[in-house]
Each structure stands twice: as structure tokens, then as C-alpha cells.
Amino acid sequence: MSVLGWVDNRTLLGCQLLMAAIYAIFLFGMRHLYGRLRGTGAFAASYALGIVGGLLIVGRGTIPYFLSVVVANSLIFASDLSFLIGTCQFFDIKKSIRPAWSWVILATLQITYFTVIHDNIVARIVISGLSAFFLRGLVAYHLHHQSARRPLIRSFSYVMGAYAIFGLNRVLLTFTLGPPANYMQQNTMQTLSMVIATAFVCLLGLFLLFMLSSELLNLVQDESQQDPVTGILNRRGVDLKLALELKRIDRSGQNLSVAFIDIDHFKSINDSLGHAGGDEALRLVATAISSRLRAYDLLGRYGGDEFLLVLPQTSWSDALIVCKRLEQAIQKIPLSDTTITISTGITQAVPTEHTTSLLARADKALYTAKESGRNHCRVILHDPNSHSADLTDSRSYIAIPPSDEDPNPSSPGHTPTLVRT
């Protein structure tokens, strides 16, 4: 007797259902605890639907034929469809859902026809096999399409592709050996198929959990770098991003400018409007700045009413123009009867510079702007002739911005004037 002869098909199916139940419970828990983790609800529903469909198949012969065939197959179709929906939600893919829904509805109608009207087991096996191949194949395709530089997802796509091909297994066995008298019948090919199916259920569930856990870690990391009041980066987040940008200019030699932005007389805003009004002012300022930045510019709340603006590929003169325009936009913010103004300190990074010295210059420039009466922009640049770490050795300038009426602010004629202080 072969080893497969020792294995009971119902035991194998029971193992599949038990693993599916564990995955479903775990996924529903993730969905409840981490609502931002996309696709977990659909993945959990996929396993839950598969469990019910499997139980109906196990009950074939003891429950109504319609339930064990039509409803069971429909639930298996819905399970594969739900897995596809979860994949599309996870990767924010808008395609494939509508044709997949149409396929499942059509397959369900065909299964019903070949059960209720014209009982044909071969037709049902072909329909279920093609449905599994189509729906799982779409999942494999999307996984592979999203797998660039992500080896875990690429491996997931290969396993899912193999699982899609395995969906045709019963079709091939039916045309080779004839239709099985009973899905649970004990024979070598049927049992081997059940063993392979059990292995796929286990392996795919593990890949799914690894993929979701990796994404969950990314979400937690993003949340740890996000300011809860304004929704932009917090101090830790913008510091980390700035450090990466400084390494980038070391390699590329491109310009990088930063600016500290401070809301003028923020305490009086808090006193007059309350802390809720102060938070609203912070949100409005953050929105006004963010909406006028490029996709690769960075903005973070550095603490209290102070923001750090990081402008890659930007000279100090262009950064000054940007900040003057931000200043004008913020003055137009509708906040009760209060006019919001800002003070800004700007500096430009030099190669091999550390964040400490760069931010110290920007902070000194901000202090100079506030000492000048607020509602000003000031620039302090690195002094290449100074060998001292003392900030007093840096060059301090009062920047006089060009007129905003000129249609080409980046032209050479618009370079701001620097007056040594």
C-alpha cells in the first residue's frame, strides 16, 4: 500500500478548513485592529466563504443536493473573487473587478443549469476548474505586476500562479480518468490532489500574512513619522527625510535648501481662539504650504508652531521666492478675524554637511527674521572661508526678494539681492 493510502481525504479537507479558519480569524482581527490596512476584510471573507463552501462539500449526500453542489460551488467562486478584490484593494487597483464579477455570476448560473435542469458532472467540473484558473490567475498577474523590487510578493505571485494552474487539475483528471463518483473517494490521484491543495492553502496563507505584516510595519512606521494635528511629517519624520536628501546631494551635487517657518504671535491666536482654534490655524497653515509644493518637496511640523520645509534641487534664491509666495498665501487664510503671518529662516546645504549645522543656520536665520519685526524672510549661508563651527562665523544676509509681478521668477534678473548684516 502506498503512503497516500494511509491518508483520509476527509481528514485532508478538514486540515484545509482548519487552516482557513485560523487565517480567517487572524485576518478579521487585523481588520478590526488596523482599519487602514487595505484588503484585510476581503481576504478574511475569502477564507470564511471557502470554509462554508468546503463544509457543504463535505456534507454531500447528507444535505440537499442543491446546497452541496450549487451553493457550495458558488461560495468557492465567491471565495476566489473575494481574494481578488482584497488584492486589488491592497494595491489600490481599479481594474479586473467588474469582469471578475461577471465571470462569477455567469459561472454560478451555469453550475445551476448543469445541476437543476441538466445534471452533468463533467460540465460542472470544467466550469469550476476554469473559474479557479481565471480568478486565481488574475490575482497572480496583479501580484507579479506589483512585485518590482519586492521579492516576497514576486514569490507570492509564482505560488499563486501555480495554484491557478492547479485549478485545472480536476478538469484534466476528469478527461483522463473520468469523473469521480464521489469527491471524497479514496484513490491515489484524488488523494494526491487533496494533499497538494492542502499544501497550497497553507503556503498561500503564509505568504498573505507575510505580505500584510510587512505593509502593517510600513503603516506603523508612517504613523510614527506623522504629526497627529496637521497630518504632515513630524519632527522625527522630516529629520529622517532630510538626512536622506543630504546624502543624495553628496552624490549628485544638486542644490538643497531648507527653511524654518514660524507662525507669528501664535500664543495670541491660542489665547483668542482657544487651543482648538490654534490647532485649526496649524492645519490651515500646513495645508496652505503643502498645496503649493512640488511632489518631492517635504514639509514637517518641527514643534509647536514651527515648520521645517525641505526643498530639493532648489537654490537659496529660488527658496526665497517660494517662501515669499507662501507668506502671501498664508496671509489670505480665513481664520475668524485673525490675519496669520509667518517668519522664515532660509539656508542652503553644502556637500558633506550634517543636519545639525544646516538646521542651526536655518534656525539662526529664523531668529534674525523674528528679531527684525516678524513677517520677514531671512537667509544665512555657509561661509566657506570659516573653519570654525561657531555660527557667528557664518555669513548672515538680509534677502530682498524680487517683484512678484514678473511672469518669470526663475530668470537671472530675479535673483534676490543679499545685503550683508
Question: Cell 446546497 identifies what position?
Answer: 67
Name, of 11-15, 95-99, 413-417, the range with top average pLDDT.
Answer: 11-15
pLDDT at 184: 62
- Domain check: are 171 and 241 in the same one? no
- Domain check: are 21 and 70 in the same one? yes
- Of 195, 224, 253, which marks where a domain is finished? 224
- Of 224, 244, 279, which marks where a domain is finished? 224
Contacts 24+ apart (CB under 8 A), 196-200: 196/166, 196/169, 197/12, 197/16, 197/166, 198/12, 198/15, 198/16, 198/19, 200/159, 200/162, 200/163, 200/166
- Domain check: are 192 and 245 in the same one? no
3-class DSSP assignment, residue 305: coil
- Domain check: are 252 and 337 in the same one? yes
Contacts 24+ apart (CB under 8 A), 86-90: 86/39, 86/40, 86/41, 86/42, 86/43, 86/45, 86/46, 87/39, 87/139, 87/142, 87/143, 88/39, 88/142, 89/38, 89/39, 89/42, 90/38, 90/39, 90/211, 90/212, 90/215
Number of structural domains found in the chain? 2
pLDDT at 293: 94
Q: What is the CATH number of the domain that holds 33?
A: 1.20.1070
Domain assignment present for residue 143? The answer is yes
The two beta strands, 377-381 and 342-348, are parallel
Return mean pLDDT, the chain: 86
- Compute the chain's Rg from CA coordinates: 32
Q: Which residues pair with 299 in a beta bridge?
A: 309
Please say if the pLDDT value at position 54 is more than 60.
Answer: yes
pLDDT at 270: 86
- Domain check: are 190 and 281 in the same one? no
Residue 335: all three cell numbers together: 481664520
Please say if the pLDDT value at position 398 is more than 90.
Answer: no
Domain assignment present for residue 338? The answer is yes
* Cβ count near 389 (within 10 Å): 9
What span, in angstroms and rounded, lies between the C-alpha atoms of 168 and 127?
10
Average pLDDT over residues 183-204: 82
Please say if the pLDDT value at position 59 is more than 90.
Answer: no
- Domain check: are 203 and 245 in the same one? no
Domain assignment present for residue 177? The answer is yes
- Domain check: are 78 and 170 in the same one? yes
Domain assignment present for residue 230? The answer is no
What span, in angstroms and rounded, lies between the C-alpha atoms of 77 and 70?
11
Please say if the pLDDT value at position 405 is more than 80.
Answer: no
DSSP 156-167: HHHHHHHHHHHT
Domain assignment present for residue 305? The answer is yes
- Domain check: are 367 and 413 in the same one? yes
- Domain check: are 245 and 326 in the same one? yes
Domain of residue 362 covers 235-420
Please say if the pLDDT value at position 416 is more than 70.
Answer: no
Domain assignment present for residue 229? The answer is no
Higher pLDDT, 342 or 413: 342
What span, in angstroms and rounded, lies between the C-alpha atoms of 355 and 246?
8
3-state SS, 224-267, equals HCECCCCCCECHHHHHHHHHHHHHHHHHHCCCEEEEEEEECCHH
- Domain check: are 295 and 375 in the same one? yes
pLDDT at 252: 86
Tens of pLDDT along 196-230?
A: 999 999 999 999 999 999 999 888 888 889 999 99
Please say if the pLDDT value at position 25 is more than 50.
Answer: yes
Helix (H) / strand (E) containing 344? strand 342-348
pLDDT band of residue 169 (cuts 50, 70, 90) is: confident
Average pLDDT over residues 255-276: 91
Please say if the pLDDT value at position 195 is more than 80.
Answer: yes
- Domain check: are 217 and 311 in the same one? no
Query: Is the pTM for the entire model greater than 0.75?
Result: no
pLDDT at 361: 94
Higher pLDDT, 411 or 41: 41
- Domain check: are 173 and 195 in the same one? yes
